[in-house]
Structure 1
Amino acid sequence: MTQSFCSKDQLDLLFKNSRDFVFLMKKNAEDYEYIYTNPSAINVLGGNRIGKTVREATLPHLAKNILHYYDLAVEKLQQIEFQDYTYFTAEVRKYETTIIPIVEKGNIYVLATTKEIAFDRDLQDKYLFMRSVFFKTFLSTVLISNNLELIEANPGFTEDFNINIEEIRGKKFLDLPFIDPDSVDLIKLYLTEAQKGENISSKLISFVDRNGDKRSFTGTFSPLTRDDENAAVFLILQEITTYIKQEEVLRTTSHGLEMFKKAISTAADVTFTDTQGRIIEANDRFIERTGFTLQELLGQKHHIVNSGYHPREFFENLWKTLERGEVWRGEIRNRKKNGKTYWVDTTIIPLIDQQGHAGQYLTVQFNVSEKKQVMIELRNIERTFRAITENTNDLIVVTNQQGDIIYASPSYIRKLGYPEHELIGENYSKLLCEDSIQEWQALIEDGSFTAVEKKIELQLRTNCGEILWTEGNYSITHDSSVDHIVQIIMVSREITERKELEDKLMFMAYHDSLTQLPNRRYLKKEFPHLVENAKANFETLAIFYIDGDNFKQVNDDYGHDVGDEFLKQFSIALSKSVRSDDLVVRIGGDEFIVVLTGLSRDAEHRQSQLQHIVERIRMNLRIGWSIQGFSFSPTSTMGIALYPEHSENLEKLIDLADRALCEAKQVSKNNYKISGPASVHSNS
Structure 2
Amino acid sequence: MNNQKLNSDLAHHIFNSLTDMVFIIQKEDNGDYRYLFINEAAYSLPGVEKGITGKLLSEVLSYKVYKVIKEKYDEAVKGGAPLHYKFTFPDSKNIKTIHEIQYETVISPFFKDGFCTHIITIVKNSNLNQKEGKLKRSTNHFEHIINNTADAIYTFDRYENYTSINPAFEKLFGWKKEEILNNNFISIILDKDKSELKNFIMESIKKGHVLPSHEAQRITKKGNVIDVLASYSPLFDEKGNWDGGVAIYKDITDKKKLFNELKVSEERYRLITEHTSDLIKIINPQGTVLYSSPSHFDVLGIKPDETLNKPIFIGMHHDSMETFKFSIEKINSTRKPTSIRFQRITQKGEFIWLHTIGSPILNNEGNKVDKILFVARNITERKKYEEQLQHYALVDHLTGQPNRRYFFSRLLEEMEKAKFFHSTLAVMILDIDRFKHINDSMGHDIGDQLLKEFSERVKDCLHEHDIFARIGGDEFAILLPDVKDNQAIVNVANRIIYSLQDKWVIDEHQFNTTSSIGISFYSPYEMNYKTLIKQADKALYQAKEDGRNCFKVYTNTEF
TM-score normalised according to structure 2 size: 0.39
Larger-gyration structure (1/2): 1
TM-score normalised according to structure 1 size: 0.33
